Amino acid sequence: MKRSEKKAQTQTRILTIARQLYIKQGPKQTDMRELAQHTNVSTATLYRYFPTKELLTQTVVTDYFTKINEQIDQLLQRPDLDFYGAMNLVETSIRKVVGTVNEDFLACTWAAYQANSTLIALFNFDSAVWQKLIRLGRKTGEISASFDDEVVFMYIDMFFQYFRKGNNVQKFGLNKSRLQQLDNQLRNLFFQGLRGQ
């Protein structure tokens, strides 16, 4: 095996195990020595790949969001999906992710999403995922034909831009449990807006 392949495998193993530990116990409770033990590398080797825990955390979060995006994109490939079915699949996937991660890791991913333009681009209003959903919504009549694509993109962006800003979320005390309580109302408002009601 080439040295570059071995390095890539080691880095992948470190990220996979770090993600598992972060999901289970959170970044704050994950010690770099513990991670090195779990990945069967020395602490010195771990620090050669990730000189700081902050860099490791950023990389884990980016990798995590990328995998979520890929999973959602795969779900949208099903030919039998209508718009609501697609939105429900996306929502179920996101809920599953949110429901199975440590609160500390969830807060970390939320903060990273708000601050990182690469992550925002994965789920931005004009991302490939949203473009597929909008095409599907137009095809099934769930997005009003009277709205230009730009208006639909603006609406989606307005809706999600609000939650990207931490001070907006905090302004209304929208922690995880409160967001779950408001979830149905927000979803209904979102879909009614797309239908032009």
Q: Which two tokens stand for residue 130?
A: 């949203």
CB contact at 8 A, 194 and 142: yes
**Which percentage of the chain shows pLDDT scores above 90?**
28
pLDDT tens digit string along 12-45? Answer: 999 999 999 999 999 999 999 999 999 999 999 9
Q: What is the CA radius of gyration of the chain?
A: 19
The pLDDT tens digits for 167-188 are 666 677 766 677 677 777 877 7
Q: Which of 74, 93, 194, 72 shows the shortest CA–CA distance to 134? A: 194
Query: pLDDT confidence of 156, banded at 50, 70, 90?
Result: confident
Closest CA to 88 of 127, 133, 152: 133
Q: What is the pLDDT of residue 90?
A: 78
Higher-confidence residue: 56 or 141? Answer: 56
Work out the burial of residue 194: count CB atoms within 10 Å of its CB; fewer than 13 is exposed, 13-18 middle, 19 or more buried.
buried
> What's the pLDDT score for residue 91?
76
> What is the residue extent of each domain of the chain?
58-195
119 and 69 in contact (C-beta within 8 Å)? Answer: no
